[in-house]
Amino acid sequence: MPQQITAAIREAGRRILGGYAELLRMPGTARFAIGAVIASMPFPMVGMTITISVQHYYGSYSLAGALTATQAISLAVMSPVLGKLVDKFGQRQVSIPTIAVWVVAAVSLISAISAHAPAWVLYCITPFMAAIPPWGAMSRRRWTLLLKGDHVRTERALSLSGVFDEAMWVVGNPLASILAVASGVLAFSFTGVCVIIGALMFLTELSTEPPSQTALARQEGVSRKDYRRRQAELQAQLGGGGVSSGFWSAGLIAVCVTWFGLGAFQSAASISIISFASEQGMKQMTGFVFACFSFSSLIGALLYGAKSWTIPLWKRFYFCLLVVNLGIASFMFARNIWTIMAIYLVIGVCQAPTWINGNQLMLHLVPPIRFTEGMAWLNAMNSIGSSAGSAIAGVFIDRYGSRGGFGVVTALALTSLAIAFIGFRQIKDSTERPDLTVMAT
């Protein structure tokens, strides 16, 4: 009996992880995929490090929160700009100077905090901490180029990227808390080492680097503007109306606004849960609540990518969105923290697949040569939504307690869901044909 159980576990592991292992055995893929995750450590660690370090040296949560918000907003503004530049000029050409700016900014910021510099100095330096290359988008761009012609493995690769992202957040947040409490210098130093090591792994893997718009246009002997216009028109023709001849379309706008809503109601839910747990005298449990969501999301990403889906992408997109949005909206009716934990465990399975589906939609809704830019817009809208959601919920929590915050969560979740259906027709039309996801560049 024990041998049968062991054999069953091994078989299940092979079915779930075998496809991922196959992808990582492809030449160069493990190097850039893992390098992208390591280099992305500033995303989960910088905000937490700023908050803890500033509170320690200045004794002000308001200053810490304002600086963290400044960094988040700057990141939201910079992400689409960097994504567009990467598509235009190339991954290495944009990433190297961007990393240099980030390293200088990190050294300057932690030095200013340690020296107890005036607050205005911190406000001047913090925006430059947003100089982070879009590693996740660049990694996904490499996968889509390598796997063109194979939409099943493309989806699996995007799921693998989602697994790595979830693992990064699960590790990054608590690690930042531990290091920053010990020393802000230590936390920033560790993050900087991750950036350099990850960047070296990613950027020195040249065989998988996609050509830039500039290089492709030069090969055809046309300007970059003309090349982008030709590609957009070709995508629109093959898409049967799913993609416009420009960058922005009703479907893309709907997805971006939906991602704003995702960030808004999820950040509002986080601050409302902390308030709710405090009211019940169980604030110490909030970390376990969020861990349930992250763990469930990680499992969801693993399982989602392990299966070869025949269900159209648009159906999977809306199903996962419904589960996540309606599940979080139901927090309004929770009577204790255990109920919220249970809901998170259930709906978390659809959290990572929601993001994976969003990534996949970018392959249908924007010209392939502007994929990195499209991904950057998704991340930017989510970051802006996160800042707005927590701010709005905070006002209602101060006035009405956690129930006021959960009311905001419910309103944002339902509004986000309604907005997602604005682009229903175009999203459905553009994803009925899975071969569009692998259109050659």
List, for residues 199-229, the tens digit of each pLDDT value: 999 999 988 888 888 887 787 777 767 777 7
- Helix crossing, 424-431 with 351-365: angle to 10°? 80
Q: 1-210 and 221-434: same fold?
A: yes
d(CA 441, CA 275) in angstroms, rounded, equals 49
For the chain, the distance separating the N- and C-terminal CA atoms, rounded to the nearest angstrom, is 53
User: What's the mean pLDDT in 316-334?
Assistant: 89
Residue 236 clears pLDDT 60, i.e. is over it: no
Write down the pLDDT at residue 242: 47
Q: Which of 51-60, 226-235, 312-321 has the highest mean pLDDT?
A: 312-321
Phi, psi of 142 (to 5 degrees): -65, -40
- Residue that the structure tokens 């939609």 belong to: 361
Which structure tokens are listed for 119?
Answer: 């607050």
d(CA 286, CA 283) in angstroms, rounded, equals 6
CA 273 to chain centre: 22
Half-sphere exposure of 288 (CA within 13 A, CB side): 11
Q: Are 128 and 101 in contact (CB under 8 A)?
A: yes
Which structure tokens are listed for 244?
Answer: 């416009």
pTM for this predicted structure: 0.72
What are the residue ranges spanned by the domains of the chain?
A: 1-210, 221-434
User: Running DSSP on this structure, what letter comes out for residue 242?
Assistant: S
Task: Tell which residue, 390, 136, 381, 433, has the closest CA to residue 254.
Answer: 381
Give me the architecture of the 1-210 domain, per CATH: Up-down Bundle (1.20)
d(CA 219, CA 141) in angstroms, rounded, equals 20
d(CA 123, CA 118) in angstroms, rounded, equals 9
Phi, psi of 133 (to 5 degrees): -55, 150
Q: Are 67 and 195 in contact (CB under 8 A)?
A: no
d(CA 88, CA 62) in angstroms, rounded, equals 39
Q: Which of 23-27, 135-139, 197-201, 244-248 has the highest mean pLDDT?
A: 197-201
Sign, CA dihedral 260-429-322-135, equals negative
User: What's the mean pLDDT in 72-77?
Assistant: 83
Residue 437 clears pLDDT 70, i.e. is over it: no
Q: Are 390 and 271 in contact (CB under 8 A)?
A: yes
Write down the pLDDT at residue 436: 39
Q: CATH number of 221-434: 1.25.40.10, 3.30.70.260, 1.20.1250.20, 3.40.50.1860?
A: 1.20.1250.20
